[in-house]
Amino acid sequence: MLDVGLTTFMILATSLVMLMTPGLAFFYGGLGCKKNILSIMMQSFVSMGIGTVLWFAFGYSVCFSGNMHSGTDFFGIIGNFDKAFYHGITPSTLYSPDKRFPEYIFIAYQMMFAIITPALITGAFINRVSFKSYVVFLVLWQIFVYYPFVHMVWGGGLLAEWGVFDFAGGITVHATAGFAALASVYFVGRRQEKTDPNNIPLVAVGTALLWFGWYGFNAGSELAVNSVTVSAFLNTDTAASFAAVTWLLIEWNTGKKKPTFIGLMTGAVAGLATITPAAGYVSIYSSAIIGVIAAIGCFLAVKFKEHKGWDDALDVWGVHGMGGVIGTICLGLFANSSINAAIPNGLFFGGDGMLLVKECVAILIAIIYAFFFTVLLFKTINKFIPVRVTEMEQTVGLDLIHHGEVARQS
């Protein structure tokens, strides 16, 4: 029998996660320059369309059909095609006997994760990549990077069987996207000109939507309504708030010695990204500490990027990539089985350290594979479609050159 309460909760969580991709578009669009606002935002929105088509055709199936334990997937790395085009699933098909909500909702929920993950990467290479090459990249990266890691971690694949945990996407979402972003910067090079954010209030709108949607992103990942759900919900806000305040204080006392709005919002996103893998596995006190660690770690990563001269325009690597890494390591340290009995204790709560080792190995695999495959993918695409736009296109702006539109008339 259908659990009406849980079904309603999962519909709400799915809706919140869906809202994050438009939120990301506003966040990135406000940080970019005026002549590229639409091209930046369109990269996020087109992911919603293409990501949905791929998920319908075979994405959901290869992520969540078959498992390594029963030998019904492909070597624990990718699932099978049993549920391609949602074969055998009807509106009345329940997700599982103990989680009695329609599988259709789980399909939609996980689809929102698949949509936003490649969209995160785009903040690194704004103003430099052609739309045509991005569309090809979007399709292939999702198939060959995102889908395998989802299956390995969440779909009963190799890493899940080994005992790796990732509550809502520190490995599968933020680490893979963040290090793919760094790889894209390595390939496409620097922008012709760097500009200040064109619309900080638009960034604020995007931050608000991301923060709001992140409750569904993290709390919904329990796929139930229980004490773990509540912990994940509150841990999400706590880590984000502690990170935002910590980033603000660091910025206030270094560099220009001014508390900036952009800094406050960047700190919040860093805290949200970092708590993601641990949200349902740690205590509220640990989430506060993780928020502080997130701000310090991601702030230093951004400064390191600036020192090295990497043109990661919107700090995707420093905030999302390093946030995913830091959060996954923190999971190995702060995991608490009294919060969630599904996970062994982390090193700081009496664990033997094996969880930390497994999390570190998994995150290392993710960042190495995502980085090098992304470089290879861009090099391959570039043989057929020029990836980097010309200097003239950068000067005029991609909104007008590629899309024949402008955000506003001057």
Q: According to the model, what pLDDT value does residue 188 have?
A: 96
Kindly report, residue by residue over 298-316, the tens digit of the pLDDT. 999 999 999 999 999 999 9
Domain membership flag for residue 52:
yes
Domain membership flag for residue 260:
yes
Number of structural domains the chain divides into: 1
Tell me the mean pLDDT in the region 363-391: 97
Domain membership flag for residue 368:
yes
Tell me the mean pLDDT in the region 148-159: 98
Domain membership flag for residue 410:
no
Domain membership flag for residue 253:
yes
Domain membership flag for residue 409:
no
Tokens for 176, please give them: 């893979």
Q: According to the model, what pLDDT value does residue 410 have?
A: 55
- pLDDT at position 186 over 60: yes
Least confident of 40-49, 135-144, 248-257: 248-257
Domain membership flag for residue 367:
yes
CA distances from 255 to 155, 250, 298 (A): 45, 9, 16
Look at residues 101, 98, 106 and name the one whose alpha carbon lies nearest to residue 7: 101
Tell me the mean pLDDT in the region 60-71: 97
d(CA 211, CA 204): 10
Burial of 7 (0-12, 13-18, 19+ CB in 10 A): middle
Tell me the mean pLDDT in the region 30-55: 95
Residue 124 belongs to domain with CATH number: 1.10.3430.10
CA distances from 291 to 104, 121, 248, 264 (A): 34, 23, 13, 13
Kindly report, residue by residue over 337-367, the tens digit of the pLDDT. 999 999 999 999 999 999 999 999 999 999 9
Look at residues 176, 96, 188, 211 and name the one whose alpha carbon lies nearest to residue 133: 188
Which residues on adjacent β-strands are paired with residue 326?
Answer: none
Domain membership flag for residue 43:
yes
Give the structural domain span for 168. 4-403
